[in-house]
Amino acid sequence: QVQLQESGPGLMKPSETLSLTCSVSGASISPYYWGWIRQPPGKGLEWIGFIYYTGSTTYNPSLDSRVTISVDTSKNQFSLKVNSVTSADMAVYYCARAYANRGSFDVWGQGTMVTVSS
Amino acid sequence: DIQMTQSPSSVSASVGDRVTITCRASHDVSSWLAWYQQKPGKAPKLLIYSASRLQIGVPSRFSGSGSGTDFTLTISSLQPEDFATYYCQVADRFRWTFGQGTKVEIK
């Protein structure tokens, strides 16, 4: 079955760039959309953005200026970068497959906690 | 941007109860509405997509209804494993937005 696994540093300092990777197994990156979602401790879910296997992206306008999502089809992975992190970026970050025709995320990674602290 | 209003924020219920959660969109989203269940420390799990379509493997006690701006998730007979937080999510073109969540607690 399809499995997603996030990886990246768990601890960051303010103003650094957060980099996370999502490795996909059990399915090809194409022809799906892939997304990132985050959840601050004790709070709700926030959609960050999507990437299509072709590299086309869409971002949440509230994060657009600081976020970049990229895809590496040869490695069956996609990645997230968030510039200039602050404590407001501290959250569990999830990667997920976006089933665009159904408007929903049908497969999720387990999530990875990112802490921002000086 | 679209706004989602989910209610109630929490509900206390007993095993066997019928539970209803609502989600209202700030403008018409047709049937582009999904529901998720999230348990503590776990990733969300897709329950319903396209407002009323049950995801494969989800028990039939879960159902979704609505279209346009008003949507409902119903659990017909609450089971012990259903105590969790539930989120709606709208797909408004390529702006996907989640509701604030509803925590279903044991009464």
Query: What's the pLDDT at A64?
Result: 80
What is the nearest CA distance from A29 to chain B, expressed in angstroms? 19
Is the Cβ–Cβ distance between B104 and B85 less than 8 Å? Answer: yes
Res A100 pLDDT > 90: no
pLDDT for position B94:
79
Q: In A1-118, at which residue ranges do the beta strands (DSSP E only) sit?
A: 3-7, 11-12, 18-25, 33-39, 46-52, 57-59, 67-72, 77-82, 91-99, 104-108, 112-116
Task: Give the confidence band of B107 by pLDDT, cuts at 50, 70, 90.
Answer: confident
Contact A80, A10 (CB under 8 A): no
Residue A52: predicted pLDDT: 94
3-state secondary structure of B70: strand
Q: Is the pLDDT of residue B67 over 90?
A: yes
Mean per-residue pLDDT, A18-38: 95
Q: Does A31 touch chain B (CB under 8 A)?
A: no
Mean of per-residue pLDDT scores for chain A = 95
Residue range B7-56, pLDDT digits in tens: 999 999 999 999 999 999 999 999 999 999 999 999 999 999 999 999 99
Question: Sheet holding A3-7: strands in order across?
Answer: A3-7, A18-25, A77-82, A67-72
Confidence of residue A81 (pLDDT cuts 50, 70, 90): very high
Closest CA to B95 of A107, A65, A111, A63: A63
Per-residue pLDDT tens for B89-103? 999 887 899 999 999
Contact B89 A104 (CB under 8 A): yes
Contact B43 A60 (CB under 8 A): no
| Token pair for A40 | 């601050």
Query: What is the structure's pLDDT at B1?
Result: 81
A41 in contact with B, Cβ within 8 Å: no
Q: What phi and psi, each to the nearest 5 degrees, are found at residue A88?
A: -70, -15
Q: What is the pLDDT of residue B92?
A: 87
